[in-house]
Every structure is written in structure tokens, then in C-alpha cells.
Amino acid sequence: MLNILFVCHGNICRSTMAESILAHRAKKEGLSVAVDSAATHTDEIGNPPHPGTVAKLRAEGIPLVPHRARLLKKSDGARFDHIVGMDGENLRYMRRILGEEYAPKLSLLLDYTENPRSVADPWYTGDFEATYRDLTYGIDAFLRYLKDRGEL
């Protein structure tokens, strides 16, 4: 089983939505994948997903994974095969928290696409639709990458 961790600033918007989308796809497509998510900062630790995340997932018919925001920790480096951030700031903090020994496991989601950029952050924009589009685009590309490498 492949273990994937999505990471963003607070773990209530982007990474939680990504976790729910991939968990749903994995179940639907029979993929041998375990998915989790975490935060790089303590702002939202223990909080449930943002209401905008919940509403967008519900509108798309995607079940929300049981979730409370948690902080990325050093031990996640050993536990996960891929640790995928949403933007450059996330990646800097991921490296700081996990250390360089886990750097080969770290990536940004939209770097797997033909249009690398940050995943839209709805915390600032309120645009959960744009975030959903970025995440589905990135997850599609990430899954192709994993299949091409023989990891799925």
C-alpha cells in the first residue's frame, strides 16, 4: 500500500480537500493507497475542515474524511511514501520540520502537471471552486505519475 500525505498551512482547506478527493478516488478505482493530511503551522490544530471545504466536497458528491487538523511531525517522514505540499511556503516548512533526509519524498502537487504553480488557497480568496479545480487537476497528474513509475 502506498502512503500519501497532503500538506498545507492549516490543514482545514486545501490538504483536507485533497485527502478527501484522493481517498474517494482510491475507493472508487480500487487503488491501494492510504491518504492523510497535515499542517505546517499550529493556527488550526484540532479544528474541523473549513465550512467551504465541506460544502464544495458535498456539492461534488465526495465524502469528507473524518478529520481534525494536525501538525506535520518528523515521524511522518518515515511513515509516508509521498509528502505533497500545496505551495512553496508549505515546501519550505516541510523541509524544516522533516529534515533533508526526507527531501526526496517531498513535492508540490501541481508540479506533476503541465502548468506548475501553487494550489489556489481559498483561505484568502474564498474561492473553493478554484481550489477544487486545482486539486483534481493535480491529483489526476499525480496518479498518472505514480502509475507510470509502477507505484500503483
Catalytic residue among 13, 14, 76, 87: 14
Residue 140 annotated as catalytic? no
Sheet arrangement for strand 82-85: 33-39, 2-8, 82-85, 106-108
Beta-carbon contacts of residue 1 (< 8 Å; ≥ 6 apart):
32, 33, 34
Catalytic residue among 76, 87, 121, 134: 121
Beta-carbon contacts of residue 125 (< 8 Å; ≥ 6 apart):
none
Catalytic residue among 8, 13, 36, 134: 8
Cell of 38: 497535515
Cell of 77: 517522514
- Measured torsion, CA atoms of residues 22, 26, 27, 29, in degrees rounded to the nearest 10: 130
Residue 14 annotated as catalytic? yes
- Measured torsion, CA atoms of residues 47, 52, 58, 60, in degrees rounded to the nearest 10: -130
Cα 94 to Cα 108: distance, rounded to the nearest angstrom: 11
Residue 8 annotated as catalytic? yes
Positions marked active-site = 8, 14, 121
